[in-house]
Amino acid sequence: MIKEATFTEVMDALSEQDGVYSAPVPENWKQGRTAYGGFTAALLLRAARLRYPDLPPLRSVMVNFTAPVTAPPQISVEVLRQGRNITTVFVRSDVDGKPAAVATFTFGHSQDSHVSSDLPAPDALAPEDTEPYFPPAMKQLPIRFAENFDLRLIEGDRPFMGAERGYARVWARHKDPACRGSFEDLLGIADILPPAVFPTCKRPGPNSSVNWICNFMREDLTTRDGWWMMDTNLSAARNGYSSQVMRVWNTQGELVVDGMQSVIIFV
């Protein structure tokens, strides 16, 4: 078992045999006993792009996390439909012969349109003027993957503060400069924030992402020094499940990712 590897090293290690892709899951990309969700989604995307290298830009992602990724996954890729504008790719990740994650990726060419609308980023201090998001006490939690990222709190609350609102907004980037620029890199960091319900909780507890939907609104993934502004906002929580909205902006204040996630919580 590999103890340590950078995000780029793992993505580059993805290999193919008889149409099936596989890669290691290093310990420093674990979240408890499974792989961090953004890492898993990025692996599936990389497999799709390796299998079909001429795909147009990524437009949408839908991932279902069906079981823990406790061993190197076996990843299969299939084009569901390739149309004039849109190509839909289905990717399945198996562990011990059973599905651990399934994803549908939508790739599409740019279209001429008179419609243009955006949701500008809220005002914020520069990353250099904000404090770290993860306090030392949070290192006791099983979130080794978080050590691969630099997070700075802009506003909102950290987990387990008993806050009235489930909300946090941060600056975030990969610590490894080589992980800044591709769709895989962005997908790998877009899930970095803890569940939006956690600031309202008073104690830690198990949780697991159920599904994750991301719409990519820009082809250009340029941002200053790798920094992305991200927020997560709790919509509702009931019967052990929560729903949250997640967004990512570049340093120019342009919305790049608009997403939603369902999380099962045991607190």
Domain residue spans in the chain?
1-109, 120-267
Average pLDDT, integer, range 49-63: 97
The answer to whether the CB of 264 falls within 8 A of the CB of 197 is: no
What does the mean pLDDT of the chain come to? Answer: 94
Model confidence pLDDT, tens digit, residues 59-88? 999 999 999 999 999 999 999 999 999 999
Q: Considering the domain 120-267, what is its CATH architecture?
A: Beta Barrel (2.40)
Residue type at position 173: R
With bands split at pLDDT 50, 70 and 90, how would you rate the model's confidence at 138? low
pLDDT at 82: 95
Average pLDDT, integer, range 3-31: 93
Q: What whole-number distance in Å separates Cα of residue 132 and Cα of residue 104?
A: 34
> Model pTM?
0.95
pLDDT at 141: 64
The answer to whether the CB of 205 falls within 8 A of the CB of 100 is: no
Model confidence pLDDT, tens digit, residues 176-210? 999 889 999 999 999 999 999 999 998 888 889 99
Q: Considering the domain 1-109, what is its CATH architecture?
A: Roll (3.10)
Q: What whole-number distance in Å separates Cα of residue 184 and Cα of residue 41?
A: 8
